[in-house]
Amino acid sequence: MGNDMTEAEPTAKRRVTIREVAERAGVSMATVSRVLSGNHPVPASTRARVLRAARDLDYVANAHARALVGGGRKMVAVVLRQVTSPFYAQVAEGVEAEAAARGWLCLVGTTGGDPQRELEFVQLMREEGARLVILVGGVVEDDAYRERVAHYAHALDSAGARLVLCGRPAPDPDIPALVVEFDNEAGAHAITGHLLSAGHRGIVFLGGLPGNTALDARVAGYRTALAEHGLPPEAAHVIDCGLGRAAGHRAMTQLLKETPDFTAVFAGDDMVAAGALRAIADAGLRVPDDISVVGYNDIPLAEDFNPPLTTVRTPAEELGRAAVRIALRDPEHAAGAHHLLGTHIVVRDSVQPPPPGRPH
Amino acid sequence: MGNDMTEAEPTAKRRVTIREVAERAGVSMATVSRVLSGNHPVPASTRARVLRAARDLDYVANAHARALVGGGRKMVAVVLRQVTSPFYAQVAEGVEAEAAARGWLCLVGTTGGDPQRELEFVQLMREEGARLVILVGGVVEDDAYRERVAHYAHALDSAGARLVLCGRPAPDPDIPALVVEFDNEAGAHAITGHLLSAGHRGIVFLGGLPGNTALDARVAGYRTALAEHGLPPEAAHVIDCGLGRAAGHRAMTQLLKETPDFTAVFAGDDMVAAGALRAIADAGLRVPDDISVVGYNDIPLAEDFNPPLTTVRTPAEELGRAAVRIALRDPEHAAGAHHLLGTHIVVRDSVQPPPPGRPH
DNA sequence: ATGAAAGCGCTAACAA
DNA sequence: TTGTTAGCGCTTTCAT
């Protein structure tokens, strides 16, 4: 794997050390250290000489040596499936922004959804001494997951680091982890209600992912809304095609071919909605005239879809900011706490009452 | 900033050290080190005992201590304006993928376009001992920029690290940096030709950013294509509104109000196109019937725009992969080299011949 | 095959 | 005010 003969990896040359700066300035290493760290009384003249020497040599401290003796750099790590998902990217940006504002370094790692890579990354962060690890995104909550996260939590905790679960459940309330997420059930309930109010009764949920907590919650909200409007349980029609544009496109195409007894689609997220929209157009149908479609997340380009998508706004960047803000505040009280962020519907042009001719 | 009384930052507790593992296994630290690093002859029995002890204690090596003595972890850093830009996100994903495949750690940093933060980040990477630093995205190439990058290049080089410039120019061919970018001029030339072939003569370029090398190259390609079709220099109409959806929307709205003597728009990138598309629709005009629009980059959602956008495909992920691949191969020959990646047009539905009645 | 010991570059007592 | 010294946790000779 990428180890041809021609590969020549950069070999770290010897860097300028504090000793060389000290020699050039004619002082001891300790003095240089004091000048550089700033918080020690050093006469202006010495100070100037040292700074001068450091600049001349283009000295930068060795972060590893510094971390070894001092507390190490304040570092927060975000772990997500992929940065190319607009939603995850926004969460990461929120974390980054909040971290940067406090002078913390933010490291972004992606797993591609592979638990193994997630585990490796968390391990790595433990080695590097991250003080805060934020795991983002829904997951399939099985025993393996619960065990894995419980392990992360204890391992991180015993090293004095904190774990935040964003949009995924804590395996156990007693575990030293913090969860911050959106109220998926409420959001799904609201947007389903929106569809129902427009007169839709045949609403299919596209993009279920059984076991995935985020999606399950949305499905739950969808079912509840249906029930509250007096519809029987059979009225719920959930297609477990998973997330992503391609999945949405595929499932929608299939659905259109087989069971056209619906007038609206509730897509599991906006990317699924994008795929569904395309599939509907490909089938020669129009949104919202023939079929109404709603999404979830309100990604930045949702208003550029055709038609502009009515969806549930989940303030992703705020989720990221909240994760670090909460984790850094009142740690004792916060541990084990569960924070729910609110969402709201953004009405655009993809919903309309069902056409008269179509099944109820 | 963010230092309320209630803040309680995680304080790194003492972690399990190699010494404790050694004691528990009844061997010396050296033996533990040998077992853990794997590449030393150690009898299976001792090996098992050590591994057992390490597992029991949930030991993870201190990366800083290890980096201090050994070469340090193989780490590549990508610096970009923001992760929420689909294009940048894809580049980052490419870097991440290629790095991960080689067992390198990838660190993503964002600057928000602020040279100061960029500088700080590069400095930081130097401290952390990154072996490869990749700067992504076009910039305004002024003296300050040239000086800054020349400094990065030399500083990184003297520490044995490599610098890759993605989509931005090297200040000087002799500088120890590698540049990998798309042939912006060719791409712009091609897509302008596409518009010209459809019969358009009044084509405005929306999203210029004078001094920005990537945009300047696109503008150059646009002008060349115009000239080759026998149009006078005055036929070029460049609006320097910069990039981003909001800028595109604003500029397009303005343009529509003031000078409607054009039939096509060449947006500086797909986000600008998104804004322009919206502005055109808001003005009650249709694309491509009334006005044709093309973009640049072919971001993942470009085909979901209304109408699906004809644009220039720049394989962003490949750019990221290429950056690390090239940097790690034949460093000597590569230094100072300039790699150009090809692009191609993706034809969708946003271009049509100009309407008969409109001024060419 | 394994242990003892020397340091990697830096900071933080402790002296002077 | 400044220098000297002792490690931080780990890898790596050099002995054994």
pLDDT in tens, A114-172: 888 888 889 888 888 899 999 998 788 889 889 999 999 998 988 889 999 998 888 88
Superfamily (CATH H level) for B184-315? Response regulator (3.40.50.2300)
Chain B residues lying within 8 Å of A158, measured CB to CB: 13, 15, 58
Handedness of CA B224, B230, B234, B237 (dihedral sign): negative
Q: Which pLDDT belongs to residue B41?
A: 83
Q: Topology of domain A75-182+316-341, per CATH? A: Rossmann fold (3.40.50)
Alpha carbon distance B335, B164 (integer Å) = 9
Residue A318: is its pLDDT beyond 80? yes
- From edge to edge, which strands make up the β-sheet containing A292-294? A237-239, A203-206, A264-267, A292-294
What's the CA angle centered on B159, arms B158 and B163, to 5 degrees? 85
Same CATH topology for A75-182+316-341 and A184-315? yes
What's the CA angle centered on B21, arms B20 and B26, to 5 degrees? 100
Q: What value does the mean pLDDT of chain A take?
A: 90
Residue A176: helix, strand or coil by DSSP?
coil
Q: Which pLDDT belongs to residue A106?
A: 87
pLDDT: is A101 or B232 the higher one?
B232
Handedness of CA B240, B244, B247, B249 (dihedral sign): positive
B63 touches strand D (CB under 7 A): no
* pLDDT tier, A330 (very low <50, low <70, confident <90, very high otherwise): low
Q: Which nucleotide is nearest to B31 (CA to C1')?
A: C2
Alpha carbon distance B303, B90 (integer Å) = 16
Two tokens at A329? 């505040």
A42 touches strand D (CB under 7 A): yes
Q: Which pLDDT belongs to residue B3?
A: 40
With pLDDT > 90 as the criterion, what percentage of chain A qualifies?
Answer: 68
Alpha carbon distance B75, B128 (integer Å) = 9
Q: Which nucleotide is nearest to B46 (CA to C1')?
A: C1
Q: How far is the CA of A72 from the C1' of D8 (A)?
A: 11
Handedness of CA B106, B110, B116, B118 (dihedral sign): positive
Q: How many CA atoms lie within 13 A of B12 on its CB side?
A: 21
| Ramachandran angles phi, psi of B310, nearest 5° | -80, 130
Alpha carbon distance A307, A293 (integer Å) = 9
Q: Which pLDDT belongs to residue A5?
A: 41
With pLDDT > 70 as the criterion, what percentage of chain A qualifies?
Answer: 94
Chain A residues lying within 8 Å of B118, measured CB to CB: none
Q: How far is the CA of A28 from the C1' of D3 (A)?
A: 6
Q: How far is the CA of A33 from the C1' of C13 (A)?
A: 14
Q: Which nucleotide is nearest to B17 (CA to C1')?
A: D9
Q: Which pLDDT belongs to residue B360?
A: 46
Alpha carbon distance A340, A210 (integer Å) = 22
Q: Which pLDDT belongs to residue B160?
A: 85
Residues B91-104: b if buried by 16+ CB within 10 A, e if exposed: bbbbbbbbbbebeb
B127 contacts A62? CB cut-off 8 A: yes
Pairing of strands A237-239, A203-206: parallel
Q: Which pLDDT belongs to residue B331?
A: 64
Q: Topology of domain A2-68, per CATH? A: 434 Repressor (Amino-terminal Domain) (1.10.260)
Q: Which of B13, B100, B330 is nearest residue A160 as measured by Cβ atoms?
A: B13
Tell me the nearest-neighbour CA distance from A216 into chain B, angstroms.
26
Q: Which nucleotide is nearest to A66 (CA to C1')?
A: C10
Q: Which pLDDT belongs to residue B313?
A: 98
Closest residue on chain A to B110 (Cα):
A96
Q: Please give the C-alpha separations between residue B357 and each of B197, B219, B285, B324, in angstroms, as whole numbers.
A: 18, 28, 14, 52
Maximum pairwise Cα distance, chain B: 91
Q: How far is the CA of B26 from the C1' of C3 (A)?
A: 12
pLDDT along chain B (360 residues), means of 10: 51 82 93 89 91 92 89 88 94 94 87 86 88 90 89 88 90 89 97 98 96 94 98 96 96 92 96 98 96 98 97 97 90 75 97 79
Alpha carbon distance A93, A83 (integer Å) = 10
| Ramachandran angles phi, psi of A101, nearest 5° | -60, -25
pLDDT tens, A224-263?
Answer: 999 999 999 999 999 999 999 999 999 999 999 998 789 9
Q: Which pLDDT belongs to residue A3?
A: 41
Q: Which pLDDT belongs to residue A7?
A: 60
DSSP summary character for residue A213: H
Two tokens at A138? 């829904």
Chain A residues lying within 8 Å of B306, measured CB to CB: 304-307
Q: Which pLDDT belongs to residue B84?
A: 94
pLDDT tens, B296-333?
Answer: 999 999 999 999 999 999 999 999 999 999 998 866 66
Residue B192: helix, strand or coil by DSSP?
helix
Q: Which of A107, A131, A277 is nearest residue B12 as measured by Cβ atoms?
A: A131
A-B Cβ pairs (cutoff 8 Å, strict): 205
B30 touches strand D (CB under 7 A): yes
Two tokens at B358? 């409109």
Alpha carbon distance B85, B244 (integer Å) = 9
Pairing of strands B237-239, B292-294: unpaired
In B44-129 the beta strands, taken as DSSP E runs, fall at 75-80, 105-110
Q: Which pLDDT belongs to residue A27?
A: 93
Contacts 24+ apart (CB under 8 A), A232-240: A235/A201, A235/A202, A235/A203, A236/A205, A237/A202, A237/A203, A237/A204, A237/A205, A237/A262, A238/A204, A238/A205, A238/A208, A239/A204, A239/A205, A239/A206, A239/A207, A239/A208, A240/A208, A240/A209, A240/A210
Two tokens at B128? 């952390």
Mean pLDDT over A61-86 rounds to 90
Boundaries of every domain in chain B: 2-68, 75-182+316-341, 184-315
Q: Which pLDDT belongs to residue A358?
A: 54
Chain A residues lying within 8 Å of B110, measured CB to CB: 93, 96
